[in-house]
Structure 1
Amino acid sequence: MLRSRFEAIPTAFGKHLVPRHGSQPKRREREKEDKNLHIDKFSDIWNAFIISLRDEDLINNRERDLLIVPSSAGDTSVFQWPPFLLASKIPIALDMAKSVKKRDEELRKRINQDPYTFYAVIECYETLLNILYSLMAETSDKKVVDRIRESLEDSIERQSLVREFRLDELPQLSAKFDKLLTLLLKTEEEHDTTIKTQIANLLQDTMEIITQDIMKNGQGILKDENRDNQLFANLNLDSIKDEAWREKCVRLQLLLTTKESAIYVPTNLEARRRITFFANSLFMKMPRAPQVRSMMSFR
């Protein structure tokens, strides 16, 4: 029930529990407002509710991460739904990409058939770019990522992605990013010189896979005669101290690696009962919440 109705829950929350301000908007504008403008308010309440379940030990850490709406919502061009709605979508999309051999339109059509697959693909791409750029301390390293990104987006625009990229190599790339995220999520104390070297080597391997194994015309991207040092030799790891950044890495790793459906999350029956009650309560008939200044005094 939760999966099928979750997209409507923020709207119901905004409709019944968030007061409107100013004059009443037109119906179409009001519907858009209910759908979009109150999602951030709903996210705060939803996350507090999920965290309370974890505090009572009704769900484990993985289930909490699958159910929570990220605090970094807004970092991508699509809304970041809880990972339990997007679970297994990336592995499925990778299988789709492997099976498409001729036309971009076929791949686009398959991905767009399921909105959550589309959301997951866009979010993973944009989040990966965000994380990679945050790690780059050298302009020359950023230029490498720029060239790859420009080549990819240009091929998508020209509908030549399938012809110019070996999409059957994407699972190998996904595995590399999984290893990278695992290293990045190690505690700050564990980030010694050895770990930093491992991250740099992994980034180098990843870029070689992209430019040599996946891109058919990417052999020259890593070549730079003006480079003074090795690729990714100087990294900016200050981001690992930021909790929101680490949360972003955890979420991305979940999207990349969760292959089974999260239909039975959470597994605890009491947690499921509370979530169902919370969701159903938002669809009860109730008067709309008034503005605070319009409420009667308790005195």
Structure 2
Amino acid sequence: FFNLNHLTRFFSFFQIRTLGMLRSRFESLPGAFNNYLIPVEKNEQTKKKGILKATFSRKFDKSASSKEKEAAKFAQMWNEIISSFREEDLISDREKNLLLVPYGADPDLVDLIQWPPFLLASKIPIALDMAKDSKDKDRELKKRMSTDNYMRCAIRECYLSFKSIINLLVLGEREKKVINDIFTIVDAHIAEGNLTTEFNMSALPSLHEQFVQLIDYLLKNKKEDKDQVVIVLLNMLEVVTRDIMEDEIPTLLDSSHGGTYGKDEGMTPLDQRDTYFGELNFPVPVTPKTEAWKEKIRRLHLLLTEK
């Protein structure tokens, strides 16, 4: 379909000479890319050719719009090019992972564009740094999110992926109820636009640290790490309910402990919560969908840690 000479001419034509230029022009690439490098089908020759906004991770089917078809073609071709760069040792494994577009649609990320990680690199660390001081920077953070589409996409993808992973791992009914209550409260504050002012966001870096540890264990997916996964989940639950949510704790504890504990008493001591997360879907069973799961975890790790 292509050769490096064609690709070089393509990038030169659009004056793409640096990674920064690629970032700034990436949204306009799919339409131009398809027009320049991919032969136009006969039934599409009379259609107007235009620049489109990339909509990756959309399944390709007969009912897909022309834009979705172009995006699907571009994603496939782009990944083939990036993979060929790696095969020819022009880029490293890390660079390849940063440049790849997700191969398949993620059902947990409906209507969310999954940009290549290099476009989202550093967005989560920056957002975390701003959020932990949100009492002073709330307006600045909201302004940044309203103008920075990549940051907004990175935050949404990480949050939705976090929900998906936790719901997949946790099997116990009691734990599921507490977790669902937490997500319901968080979603309500997101909808109201007051998440950063109602919660103690200074503890968010601690939650981020625990989540990265969880992702590390999921990447390894080893049975002998199950106890460590339980500890990480307990730590995450404690950070969220005790440190971040604060005023919401009585409601959660009433619903999960029958009203035994109050806010001043805090969470149940760790040594009394040994039955928490006793039922876990870990290690994650190997199935035909395992590769998609691994890709999701690898991508999430990049979004959470890349600076």
Confirm whether residue 11 of structure 1 aligns to residue 59 of structure 2.
no
The whole-number CA distance in structure 2 between the counterparts of 1:163 and 1:10 is 39
CA, structure 1 residues 196+93, in 2 after alignment: closer, same or farther (shift >3 Å)?
same
Match of 2:184 in 1: 150
For the 8 Å contact 2:134–2:197, the answer to whether it is kept is no
Change in Cα spacing, 1:102 to 1:147, as seen in structure 2 (3 Å) is farther
Shift of 1:118: 0.9
Map 1:285-296; keep pairs closer than 5 Å.
Answer: none
Aligned twin of 1:232: 277
Q: Deviations over 1:69-104 (max 9, x none)?
A: 112444413211110111000011112212321686
CA contact 1:54–1:64 (8 Å) conserved in 2: yes
Superposed CA offset, 1:189-234 (max 9, x none): xx12x301111111111111011111122424356248x9822111
Gaps of 5+ in 1: 260-299
Alignment check: 8 A CA contact 2:158 2:300 kept: yes
- The equivalent residue for 1:46 is 78
Which aligned runs of 4 or more in structure 1 are off by greater than 6 angstroms?
Answer: 22-28
Residue 141 of structure 1 aligns to a residue whose secondary structure is helix
**CA–CA distance in structure 2, aligned partners of residues 15 and 140 of structure 1:** 54
Query: How far, CA to CA, are the matches of 2:42 and 2:175 in structure 1?
Result: 48
Q: Which range moved further: 176-185 or 149-158?
A: 149-158
1:25 to partner: Cα distance: 6.8
Q: Name the count of aligned residue pairs.
A: 253
Q: Percent identity?
A: 42
Determine if contact 1:212/1:218 at 8 Å carries over to the other structure: no
Higher mean displacement: 98-107 or 46-55: 98-107
Structure 2 unaligned blocks of 5 or more: 1-20, 54-64, 259-272
Q: TM-score, normalised by structure 2?
A: 0.73
Equivalent residues of 1:200, 1:232 under 8 A apart: yes
What are the superposed Cα offsets for residues 100-147 of structure 1, whole Å, 9 maximum, x if unpaired? 216865532221221111111111111111111111223333222211
- The separation in 2 between residues aligned to 1:157 and 1:99, in whole angstroms, is 21
Distance in 2 (alpha carbons) for counterparts of 1:23 and 1:146: 50
Q: Distance in 1 between matches of 2:274 and 2:154?
A: 36
Instruction: Give 2:231's match in structure 1, choosing from 192, 198, 201.
Output: 201
Q: Quick one: which amino acid aligns to residue 73 of structure 2?
A: K
Alignment root-mean-square deviation, CA:
2.8
Instruction: For 1:22 and 1:253, locate their aligned partners in 2 and report how far apart those are by CA, in whole Å.
Output: 39
Which aligned pairs between 1:1-299 and structure 2 lie closer than 5 A? 1-15=21-35, 17=38, 18-19=40-41, 21=43, 33=65, 35-75=67-107, 76=109, 77-101=111-135, 106-186=140-220, 188=221, 191-192=222-223, 194-220=224-250, 221=252, 224-225=256-257, 230-237=275-282, 239=284, 241=286, 242-259=290-307
What letter is aligned with 1:177?
F
